[in-house]
Each structure stands twice: as C-alpha cells, then as structure tokens.
Amino acid sequence: QVRLQESGPGLVKPSETLSLSCTVSDYSINVGPFWGWIRQSPGKGLDWIGTISQSGTTYYSPSLRSRVTISVDSSRNQFSLKLTSVSAADTAVYFCVRDIGGGTADYWGQGTLVTVSS
Amino acid sequence: QSALTQPRSVSGSPGQSVTISCTGSSSDVGGYDHVAWYQQHPDKAPKLVIYDVTKRPSGVPDRFSGSKSGNTASLTISGLHPEDEADYHCASFAGGYVIFGGGTELTVL
C-alpha cells in the first residue's frame, strides 16, 4: 500500500510562487516509476500538471510548462511542486499521485486546497 | 491541448447498465492504449477503476469495463449499484503529457 500526503500553504498571493510537498509512506520513492501532480478547480474537472520519473526526467502540461517545476528529494521520500506567477485561475485542490506509466495514477493523496488571493 | 469530450451527466436504475463515452483525437485516445477512468465521490480523491483502456486494478468489481473504438473510449458499468453514483473522469496519454475529460456525473435513480 502506497500512502501519499500533500503539505504546504493553503493561501498564496497573486504573482507569487505556489509550493507543495508530497510525502510518500510505506514505499520507496526511488522505486517510482513516476510521481506527479493533478489539480481540480472548484466544481470543475481534473487538470494534469506533470510527472517526474525515478531517474529525474520531468514531463509537464504544455499549458503550464513555463511556470512548473517538479522535483524529488529521495532523502526525505518526498517530491514537490512549484508553480510560479500564480493567479486566481490556479486556485484548486492539488493532488499528488503515483503514476505507473502512460499517465495512469493508481495512488492519490487526499488533496490540499490552495487558494490564490490577496 | 483540448480536453476530452464526455457527457455532462448520465443516469440509470439499480441493476441497469450505463456507458460513458470519452472522445478525443488521433493524437491522444486514438493514438495510444493508455486511457484511464477514475471514479470520484464528493469531497474525495479520485479512484482508478480502469487503465490501459480495458484493465481493472485489483479490487475493482468486474462490473466495470472499458473499451475503445477509434478516437472514442467508453466505460461501461453493468448491474448498477447505488454506490456507483459518482463523477467519472477519463484521461488519455497524449505523447509526453495527459489530457482529462470534463467529467461525467452518474446518477443512480
């Protein structure tokens, strides 16, 4: 069983950087194969942000690529998301996931709501 | 990239079957056998119910099945149970990234 838990600020000001971490439990992050982030704006559908492979290769949504960075900290069994220059449109519940390939997310964190507001 | 197209809502009575469609293009659904379906109950994280078009994760009832024809994938739920009432999201690999559908609300009457 793989457990994932998101953490980070629930409120971010416009134009600033959103930073979230995901702690993986009961499973080594080095096994992978991929770790990723998906978000869901209130009342809307799911929006894929990106993934990182166990070797550190990243894959990002074309619409967010210029603002997104996903990285892994193996020593803490965590991976993280940074999204720069946020606006109200980035307000969403952010989920961290394990991706088994082909974009398939088989384990999900519970999600954390991030609101962008001044 | 455009979102995959799903019906906004479908409904069925307990015991009946329902099918939810997910239409994309040759660049995503039609081009790869990496289509997944997720079930999401209110205020919960999504749960994987179908992946790679037709595969079922361990623990998912065999009432859930997936298929694909051309650029359209489908999720069929046979013998509806009340607990199947949820939102269903399709997702497709698109060559280096993933596209989701807008989600379909399933009501069990």
| Position A21 pLDDT exceeds 80 | yes
- pLDDT band at residue B2 using 50, 70 and 90 as cut-offs: confident
Q: Kindly give the pairing relationship between strand B98-100 and strand B86-93.
A: antiparallel
Of chain B residues 1-20, which have a CB less than 8 A from chain A?
Answer: 1, 3
Tens of pLDDT along B17-71? 999 999 999 999 999 999 999 999 999 999 999 999 999 999 999 999 999 999 9
The DSSP letter of residue B42 is T
Over residues A20-39, mean pLDDT: 96
Flag whether residue B100 sits within 8 Å of chain A, measured between CB atoms: yes
Over residues A47-63, mean pLDDT: 95
Instruction: Supply the pLDDT for residue A101.
Output: 92
Alpha-carbon distance B5 to B69, whole Å? 15
Beta strand spans in A26-104 (E): 34-40, 46-53, 58-60, 68-73, 78-83, 92-99
Q: How many CA atoms lie within 13 A of B84 on its CB side?
A: 29
| Contact between chains at B45 and A48 (C-beta distance less than 8 A) | no
Instruction: Supply the pLDDT for residue B1.
Output: 67
Structure tokens at B41: 């109950």
**Interface mutation vs chain A, best among B58, B98, B100, B104, most A CBs within 10 Å:** B98
- Are A33 and A102 spatial neighbours (Cβ–Cβ below 8 Å)? no
| Position A100 pLDDT exceeds 90 | yes
